[in-house]
A = this chain, B = another copy of it.
Amino acid sequence: MARVVTFGEIMMRLAPPGYQRFIQAHSFDVSYAGGEANVAASLAQFGHEASFVTVLPDNALADAAIAFLRYYGVDTSRVVRSNVGRLGVYFLETGAAQRASRVIYDRAGSTVAITPPDVYDWSQILNGYDHFHTTGITPALGENCARATLDALRTAKQLGLTTSFDLNYRAKLWSTATARRTVEPMLEFVDTVIGNEEDAKNVLGIEAAGTDVQRGEVQHAAYEEVARKIAERHHVANVAITLRESESASVNHWSACLLSEGQFLLSERYTIQVVDRVGAGDSFCGGLLAARLDGMTPADALEFAVAASCLKHSIPGDFNKVSKDEVLRLCSGDASGRVVR
């Protein structure tokens, strides 16, 4: 068991039931989610100690967000409470067939975004931990969070933790130019960079040839080059990229590649009848980190991460609620979905 800290924003997730559009909704399913919280939950499910760091307002909704994290085994003792700002919200409409899922973010003015970086004492927070993880969403929340992210990464490396960073580009939060200018200096302190088919291009300006994501087409070969460029330019030991091929909102193909210490690996490719794909990238991160921290080889860890995130697509909510055993069974080839009695 390793000890991991993740840092970022957790939001209330509000989703109309089933395949209803926003305009039809008379109720919303409530859960709580965020890129870094999702990773912490995955790590906790896989048996690691995961602590999530954020700042939340001092009200009953934030209490529920914290309780939700605790429910899934995440340590919340380092969450800071504040009497300014609000709990961010995101609204999710689940797509089907040719209709895409839609997310409306309502996160401006969230407590974590408006809290100055000096609220975090990273030396103390990270003390005794093995790994630190965050994503490109956190610095995208504004100056406060960008500064805190850099502080955290730098401190983590000083304290000897390994680190990971999921590029996670969000066009609603910042431009590609600002993203690149902000993220690139952070990579100096990062051991593992993770991204999806589009992140490398959006955040780092490194494009994969021959891929038309809108049409659901992915050229796997091209991603070796992308991974190698990231590794070389930014002196990063590991680069992992998830590769989603969308036939439709209902049927996806899912695989990933990993460049680890110079070795390029391409994973199994799963065809998935999608239940809920939001959080799948985070479940890949969570799986990859869990597997590496458990001492798996890069090849095994990649398969573990892809299988874990494949299973996430079948589960409602951002958090991946699967056990290590379930992932290993899928890795070993049991993808038949037969009833387990």
Contact = CB atoms under 8 A, between A and B. Distances in A.
Interface stretch (A102-110, A128-136, A182-190, A229-237): A102-110
Contacts of A63: 22-23
Chain multiplicity (copies): 6
Interface in A1-50: 14, 17-31
A68 B73 CA distance: 11
Contact of A251 (B86, B96, B273, B330): B273
A20 B312 CA distance: 12
A154 interface: no
A228 interface: no
Interface string A76-109: 0000000000110101010111111111111011
Given A30-B28, A64-B22, A73-B70, A272 B104 contact: no
Interface of A: 14, 17-31, 59-61, 63-64, 67-68, 70-73, 86-87, 89, 91, 93, 95-106, 108-109, 170-172, 213-216, 244, 246-251, 270-275, 277-278, 307, 310-311, 313-317, 321-322, 326, 330, 333-341
Given A22-B63, A102-B340, 10 more contacts: A20-B316, A22-B64, A23-B63, A96-B273, A98-B270, A98-B272, A98-B314, A103-B340, A246-B336, A277-B339
